[in-house]
Structure 1
């Protein structure tokens, strides 16, 4: 996709037709790489046309919007290819569905989410060229370019763009790659300012005005919106693999991979199940313990970890009655080898309910026992890491109520069972994906049968 524009540029600057001819050859194939029905660019996999167990192609939002689609747009505008411009509008609209109201790219589910930095992807360039230059086709494209640039600014300190919002609060040094890559496209945008359409934030982003639930069948990902809440649920099973890396597991298994509130911002995010430096020269070591940020059910023993985050076959059902959106997830707890624990219940049901005044997360064992009882294994727990940078006051008001004080409001987490906050050196866990801190709240399953764990999240 980048070569389409690159070869055309070389041919024009060097006055050498062999480069422009190669560009034309590439351009004829561009349209082959977009999904139906949402025109998402696919190909970020190994091999690039690999089909998952669900028959899904590899799609990565971060690299698409920050790198590949820039090349398509720059070429289409340069040669005035109307067919490619029409395709560009469709695909930019499709990808824009995932931008959060604060300008973040929700790549929680992507095949290369191991490089998710919240604002984009670690070693790509930035979404500003494509979205600003195409703002004349959809004013919301301009909103996306500006809001994302503002987020980049909020993640910048001492002249360097940091790989996530909480590097500074957790004392993590930035990689310089983010800065020079994004400075490059900002320079490109400045260079093309005279030819740019009107770019402002007058048009809202899709997720600013969304209401209801939308399924992306080419991903098995759902976006939900009700009142001030925005959420992402993923059962996407396209796994990015390399010869040298271990298991690269982005959120799946019906995981609630993002929860956002219009007043206080992002409350739940997600990470790899286990942090893996897929590209050691382009990724930073995980500081401290590797604690996943994805909300999950898990069961831990001395030598094994079982969680729904490894389940590639979870079933997700949704319902919207106009007041609340409900998700029902049937999943199982598995280890990295996709094996369940012998002699322990492994089948679970997860529930998410999004109403205007609260979000409810529930979990229960659904394994059948000879006595028809449903008891969870002794170590089973619902883990809810709530995003919160160091410095925000955290109060455990009671065994079943925790309050986190943010500048814009108080986040209240309540449960029907006692809570525990994992003991950490800084009072937070931090994960390089997507560079955020969180309060690690753990609700253990009771040891008697037929018991749900139910947690409510509200903002006051």
Structure 2
């Protein structure tokens, strides 16, 4: 039964986190907390695990999880403030995070509070009152990025239901309808950046796929279901369909371009909850939603080792330790999916009060074996003006090319016509973008890379002068042309190599023309450079995703082969191919989104075109299951 994976994976996560809970040190502030293997600390949001623990205690009837939940609730005093709020971490003042603490505490009480001792239940509700009252006075549409308001409408509605407080319910509706004003022309949620409702010079909005599908839409789905608001449910159903265009066939989310892709994990985002909430709770409205949940959960399982969800597909392979944040947030999503499908009817009415010990919901599982996701069935070019990004589909090729100019952080997501995702139906991901420069923008929520050859894996044209890098991926003023025929798609980008402040070198402008030609059996990239003065040492990087266990072979100076389980990847160029900055296995790695890659680099000349081709040989059939090669 396909749905069995949800309950089994949740059980794995909860058992692993139980093993990381500190019970032998009785000191306040330590006892009951959950340690993080990577960060060697107790994360302030780890009490979000209370809800998954309560699910396991109630549904699986395992008292060890009830005991763990009670200990973790007591530990949460360490991140509780006098005004009723919760703070993000012991060294962080940010208390907007109370939104998510309230949601998980409400769900734990609503679904599983019956197993608590009455005194403990009263204590939990008293703590909830303080947090809900804080949110009622604090939360507005502009309190922070849009994910807080979108999730806040669920937090306030749930608080109103649990605490029987109508003012919270009224405020939740007000907030939900304000959030609906933040839907773009293509039904993508914007507001993941400041100003929330701003536009760039190119007309782009602040949009992040990861936070939209893993938090904002989930909060709106909970609000719509519990309030039985068909207007909201209809709006977010259309939005879910729009965002689903960015799910790859293996269940990953193509957040290669998002404002907050510093936290992109390939399956989602580092500290958000998971798409299982939004797509799972509304899966009866579109059979693709159930399929999306299933495939994404399979991918999460591929990234799970010894019960802990790692931050990307190749983390374990390169020896990176996992941050526990991914596990407890996504465990919440699985618990939510299981609880709502256990107790909600398909008409989106109020939750049934009937209890059941059965955690499966096969009669409501709409995932189907032969359903094709939008990106899987796509053909041609689909362009999104609000992110200045094109999705390309030609036979087995899927690609994303972006000129997105919303700057959330400097040297963050790529622009300038970079190809930020190259995916093939036969073997999966071949290219993904990383941050241009990896920086710890959120110290409590991002890892320090321990891998010795941590480097940018975004394909890019690059010139270094006086320790400053000038790249096409920094150019937010580039222009794109699109051409499409039956057997060829061509994307042509013209721009300048600039630094992170969009400035050209002192020696003058370096103009580039970057052409991508997608044919049924290959991708041809052509680079032309035009300069005011002669410039040497311009290179083109095209890192190709590959675990270091995969065979790598130089045919000659212009051809390289990478042997994957289902195909041989052939990269050829009309200039010499070099592997630069790699380790002893000729690999580099980036935490975002967690892939190893072969660091292919070739020189770019000003007097002739540089041509690079990539194709697959000896294909062994379609990708049958979700496998990260």
TM-score class, shorter-chain normalisation, is: over 0.9
The answer as to 2:592 corresponding to 1:433 is yes
- Find the structure with the greater CA-based Rg: 2
Alpha-carbon distance in structure 2 between the residues aligned to 1:411 and 1:60: 31
Residue 445 of structure 1 aligns with which residue?
604
Name the residue aligned to 1:326. 490
CA contact (8 A) 2:203 2:385 kept: no
Give the conservation status (yes or no) of the 8 Å contact 1:155–1:161. yes
| Residues in 1 aligned to 2:171 and 2:289: alpha-carbon distance in whole angstroms | 30
Provide the rounded CA distance (Å) in 1 between the counterparts of 2:547 and 2:398: 20
Residues 1:228 and 2:396 are matched in the alignment: yes
Q: Kindly state the Cα deviation for residue 201 of structure 1 after the two structures are TM-superposed.
A: 3.0
Distance in 2 (alpha carbons) for counterparts of 1:50 and 1:8: 28
Residue-pair matches, total = 446
| TM-score, normalised relative to structure 2 | 0.69
The counterpart of 2:376, out of the listed 182, 205, 208, is: 208
Query: Hey, what's the Cα distance between the residues in 1 that align with 2:233 and 2:207?
Result: 21
Q: Does structure 1 residue 395 correspond to structure 2 residue 559?
A: no
Measure, in 2, the Cα distance between the counterparts of 1:63 and 1:411: 33
1:459 matched to 2:616? The reply is yes
- In terms of fraction of residues, the more strand-rich structure is 1
Matches within 5 A, 1:284-433: 284-287=447-450, 288-343=452-507, 346-367=510-531, 377-425=535-583, 426-433=585-592
Q: CA deviation at 1:52?
A: 1.5
Is 1:42 matched up with 2:190? yes
Q: For residue 49 of structure 2, what is the aligned residue in structure 1? A: none
- Unmatched 5+ residue regions in structure 2? 1-149, 347-363, 618-629
Does 2:306 correspond to 1:139?
no
**CA apart distance, 1:110:** 0.4
What's the counterpart of residue 270 of structure 1?
Answer: 433
Report deviation, 1:368: 5.4
Displacement of 1:343 in angstroms is 2.2
* Corresponding position of 2:261: 113
State how far apart, in whole Å, the 1-side matches of 2:214 and 2:177 are: 22
Q: State how far apart, in whole Å, the 1-side matches of 2:279 and 2:609 are.
A: 45
Structure 1 Cα separation of the partners of residues 387 and 468 of structure 2: 29
- 8 A contact 2:411–2:500 mirrored in 1: no
2:424 to 247, 256, 261: 261
Q: 2:333 matched to 1:185?
A: yes
Cα deviation, 1:301-332, whole Å, max 9, x if unaligned, reads 45121111110101000100111100000011
3-state SS of 1:454 partner: strand
For the pair 1:130 / 2:288, whether they are aligned, the reply is no
Return the structure number with greater helix share.
2
3-state DSSP of counterpart to 1:101: coil
Q: Structure 1 119/109 Cα, relative in aligned 2: closer, same or farther at 3 Å?
A: same
The offset of 1:28, in angstroms, is 2.5
- From 398, 412, 418, the counterpart of 1:249: 412
The correspondence for 1:74, drawn from 199, 219, 222, is 222
**Distance in 1 separating the partners of 2:508 and 2:311:** 39
Within 2, Cα distance between the matches of 1:157 and 1:324? Answer: 41
Confirm or deny that 1:30 pairs with 2:164: no
Q: Aligned partners of 1:185 and 1:175: how far apart in 2?
A: 17
**1:97-155 Cα distance to aligned partner (Å, 9 max, x none):** 00001000000000001111101111000001111221221111111111000000000
Q: Map Cα deviations across residues 332-375 of structure 1 (whole Å, 9 max, x no partner).
A: 11112221112255100001011111011111113356xxxxx6
1:423 and 1:232 mapped to 2: Cα distance? 26
- 2:463 counterpart SS class: strand
Other-structure match for 1:244: none
- Of 91-100 and 15-24, the range deviating more from structure 2: 15-24
State the SS of the aligned residue for 2:398.
strand
Q: Residue 284 of structure 2: SS of its match in structure 1? A: coil
The one-character-per-residue Cα deviations of 1:262-316 (angstroms, maximum 9, x if unpaired) are 1111000001111111100000012334421110100124512111111010100
Q: Which runs of 5+ in 1 are unaligned?
A: 242-246, 370-374
Shift of 1:198: 3.0
Q: Structure 2 vs 1, CA of residues 453 and 66 (structure 1 numbering), >3 Å: closer, same or farther?
A: same
Distance (Å, rounded) in 2 between the aligned partners of 1:325 and 1:9: 49
C-alpha distance after superposition, 1:170-199 (max 9, x if no partner): 111110000010011101111122336332
Q: Work out whether residues 275 and 286 of structure 1, in 8 Å CA contact, stay in contact via their aligned partners in 2.
A: no
Is contact 1:249-1:310 (8 Å) kept?
Answer: no
Q: Deviations over 1:30-86 (max 9, x none)?
A: 2201000x1000010023223222122100000000011001011111111111111
Secondary structure, counterpart of 1:29 in structure 2: helix
**TM-score (norm: length of structure 1):** 0.94
What is the alpha-carbon distance in structure 1 between the residues aligned to residue 453 and residue 511 of structure 2?
28
Residues of 1 paired with 2:565 and 2:466: CA distance?
A: 39
Q: Give the conservation status (yes or no) of the 8 Å contact 1:109–1:250.
A: yes
The answer for the alignment partner of 2:137 in structure 1 is none
